[in-house]
Amino acid sequence: MSWRTAGAVVFWAALLAAPLWLPGVGGYTALGTKILVYGIAALALNLFLGFTGGLSFGHAAWFGLGAYGAGMTLKYLLPSTPLAILVGTLVGGLAATLLGPFVMRRRGIYLAMITIAIGQLFYFVAVRWNNVTGGEDGLAGFQRMPVGFGGWSFDLRDETKYYYLVLACFAVAVAVLRALLASPLGHTWVAIRDNARRARFLGLRTDLYVWAAFAVSGTLTALAGTLNALLFNFTSPQDLHWILSGNFVIMIVLGGMRSFWGPLVGVVIFVVAQDYLSSLTDNWMTLIGLLFVLIVLLFPKGILGMLVQRGRAT
């Protein structure tokens, strides 16, 4: 068995056993669930940022649309958890796909500004549409429901059982991203990231490939949004705000945007630091900002990127 295979076995075994060992290290099951939810969003954004070279500060739009789609399905349509996840993912994914043409021909700061504008558009709709979205107070009055198969029922209201549902979704998202990045499409995305002009000279329609990356990334981010809404049985306009998009970018940079698992490392650092520091001080964001600055200065390739580089050097 290779070291890579052994590491993968240990990694997935640790995730499967997380509800058992998390309390022993001062954590709790909901914290592990939040890490997996944000992990899906960060890995999805990194498909666009780290592997295609597009800087988006508007991915919270798809995250929030997924959350509102799931919440509204449960509250206004049908109390079905699978349907809520499906509707929320489709709503966010379709929005990302339809709005993709507005960003696919832009690069750098222009792309970032357009994505911020799109995200803030949805944010203000959520704030103003009080009768449906709850406005600034957020959308409440829904909860995740048990899933039944014949005479068997899986009660997702239990935190541990919901963790395993999120873990299953995380595994599916990882499998999809792995398969895409290993395919010719994934290699094309990396080529566009490294040298978009050369890719165009080779006859590639780079704008269409960027659009595809944006759509896939947005759809998986919407999936994360649905799971986040079901985790807290609540969503608010803050799930659409550009600050959350910026937090996703920070997570990716912390862990390392050029590696597949780097964003997950950044999520663990960010979420655990947020959970611990917010219990100590109201100025926890200042401390996270200082941590981010130090890591960027000392480890410009991120934590995982630095570890991988040292491993290759030895």
What's the pLDDT at 173? 97
CB neighbour class for 300 (10 Å; exposed up to 12, middle 13-18, buried from 19): exposed
Please give the backbone phi and psi of residue 292, each rounded to the nearest 5 degrees, phi first: -65, -45
What's the pLDDT at 133? 92
Strands (E) located in 53-180: 147-149, 152-154
Contacts of 51 by beta carbon, 8 Å cutoff, 6+ apart: 181, 186, 189, 190, 193, 213
Cα–Cα dist 21/237, whole Å? 34
**What is the reported pTM?**
0.94
What's the pLDDT at 214? 95
pLDDT per residue, tens digit, the chain (314 aa), is 567 788 889 999 999 999 999 999 888 999 999 999 999 999 999 999 999 998 899 999 999 999 999 999 999 998 999 999 999 999 999 999 999 988 877 777 888 899 999 999 999 999 999 899 999 999 999 999 988 776 778 889 999 999 999 999 999 999 999 999 999 999 999 999 999 889 999 888 999 999 999 999 999 999 999 999 999 999 999 999 999 999 999 999 999 888 899 999 999 999 998 888 877 777 878 887 888 888 878 777 777 777 766 655 55
User: What are all long-range contacts of 98-105, with beta carbons under 8 Å and residues at least 24 apart?
Assistant: 100/210, 100/211, 100/214, 100/215, 100/218, 101/211, 103/54, 103/56, 103/210, 103/214, 104/207, 104/208, 104/210, 104/211, 104/214, 105/207
What's the pLDDT at 311? 57
Hunting for tokens 């222009």 — which residue is that? 110
**DSSP for 59-78, written as a single string:** THHHHHHHHHHHHHIIIII-
Cα–Cα dist 219/240, whole Å? 15
Contacts of 44 by beta carbon, 8 Å cutoff, 6+ apart: 59, 173, 177, 216, 217, 218, 219, 220, 221, 223, 224
